[in-house]
Amino acid sequence: MRVFNFSAGPAVLPEEVLRKAAAEMLDWHGSGMSVMEMSHRGKEFISIADRAEADLRALLAIPDNYKVLFLQGGAIGENAIVPMNLLGDRSVADYVNTGEWSKKSIKEAKKYCTVNVAASAEDRNFTYVPARTTWKLTKDAAYVHVCTNETIGGVEYQWVPETGVVPLVADMSSHLLSRAIEVAKYGVIYGGAQKNIGPAGLTLVIVRDDLLDRALPITPSAFHWKEQAAADSMLNTPPTYAIYIAGLVFEWVREQGGVAAIEKKNIAKAKLLYDYLDRTEFYRNPVAREDRSRMNVPFKLHDEILDEAFLKGAKAAGMVQLKGHRSVGGMRASIYNAMPVEGVTRLVQYMQDFERQHG
């Protein structure tokens, strides 16, 4: 029996995708092979990778002057790979600090350049996105880095920051494909796949062509965007099986009506949960209303002594992975694309019942 899995990532995948992968496990489309067993340079796998890229481009309306790369190393890898690829002859990069993942990006970038923290939400314990008017950007910065959805804090940008000629770089790990985005407003978009896209091990990078000439000479070839773009992301062996599953997820998103339709569902799912959180004193979400994440909803019970009982009861009711990140405690419900509305409804019902029993 499958559970409702509220994990922040690796996370729930569409059941249809898992079933299809299972059906194709031993023999993909009459090839007599599993995708896992295919050469990444063979025509079968090339067709899988090409289709995945084309579908992603269509889903996100990625303009032709952007490359889409399927790499390894995860978003933490990209935290180092971004400065290596973008610094060129500049020495300063601007970072906006909205929480745990921003902090990690900043820490890593400091190994390669001077980091100017242009704005920080630390003053209110990372519960909001600092207004653009408060950002202190550097004139000659190589780029401006943001984390557009803080997976741990549950803070999401509902707007795109304007950064003029300085390229905007966004870690979108935990909300890529959950909403329509205007790719052209970004220089680089990156993210690990293991939330809305597929299995861990695949990293997506969407980079504007004119930014491919800035890599530092020390950049490893496997992480050199221009070299990888020239090699169609096959300078090294790409994470083939993860790309295949991502491709199935892209197909699934298309079948759901595309990103706009998925976004509508995500808005409705998040509303169910936040509306309830706003009606009760028993649970609390600390994030400023306008900056709440549609994907990751952290909340605390009014007395943490009840946490264990809450999690135990949730598990008995078929809902798992609701424990909050160890750095913040409490609970967190991650409600990615593949979480059906029934999962959120059941969670809210359970929260109400639990409140009635313990409130």
Catalytic residues: 101, 171, 195
Residue selected from 35, 49, 75, 319 as contacting ligand PMP according to rule CB under 6 A: 75
- Positive or negative, the Cα torsion across 274, 279, 283, 284? positive
Considering beta carbons, is residue 9 or 38 the nearer one to ligand PMP? 9
CB of 47 to ligand PMP, least distance (A): 27
Nearest to 37 by CA among 283, 178, 244, 338: 244
| Binding flag, residue 293, ligand PMP (CB under 6 A) | no
Strands 92-97 and 283-284: unpaired
Please give the Cα distance from 182 to 160 (Å, whole number): 8
Query: Residues 203, 223: contact at Cβ < 8 Å?
Result: no
Considering beta carbons, is residue 80 or 301 the nearer one to ligand PMP? 80
| Binding flag, residue 173, ligand PMP (CB under 6 A) | yes
- Type and span of the H or E element at 67: strand 66-71
Contact set for ligand PMP, span 192-251 (CB under 6 A): 192
Three-state SS at 95: strand
| Binding flag, residue 153, ligand PMP (CB under 6 A) | no
CB of 208 to ligand PMP, least distance (A): 21
CB of 149 to ligand PMP, least distance (A): 6
> Chain-centre distance of CA 84, in angstroms?
21
Three-state SS at 330: coil
Considering beta carbons, is residue 9 or 14 the nearer one to ligand PMP? 9
CA distances from 127 to 23, 29, 124, 206, 266 (A): 44, 48, 6, 28, 21
- Integer-rounded Cα Rg, in Å, for the chain is 21
CB of 239 to ligand PMP, least distance (A): 12
Q: With CB under 6 A as the contact rule, which of the stretches 30-38, 74-82, 221-229, 278-286 interacts with ligand PMP? A: 74-82
Kindly state the number of chain residues that form the binding site for ligand PMP, as judged by CB under 6 A.
Answer: 11
CB of 76 to ligand PMP, least distance (A): 3
Query: Residues 303, 285: contact at Cβ < 8 Å?
Result: no
**What are 113's two structure tokens?**
């350049």
Q: With CB under 6 A as the contact rule, which of the stretches 18-26, 154-162, 168-176, 275-283 interacts with ligand PMP? A: 168-176
Considering beta carbons, is residue 9 or 247 the nearer one to ligand PMP? 9
Please give the Cα distance from 274 to 348 (Å, whole number): 10
| Binding flag, residue 108, ligand PMP (CB under 6 A) | no
Residue selected from 94, 108, 171, 291 as contacting ligand PMP according to rule CB under 6 A: 171
| Binding flag, residue 7, ligand PMP (CB under 6 A) | no
**What are 215's two structure tokens?**
């890599």
Nearest to 356 by CA among 299, 322, 313, 315: 313
Binding characters for ligand PMP, 9-28, by CB under 6 A (x = yes):
x-------------------
CB of 204 to ligand PMP, least distance (A): 11
Three-state SS at 107: helix
Residues near ligand PMP (CB under 6 A)? 9, 74-76, 101, 147, 151, 171, 173-174, 192
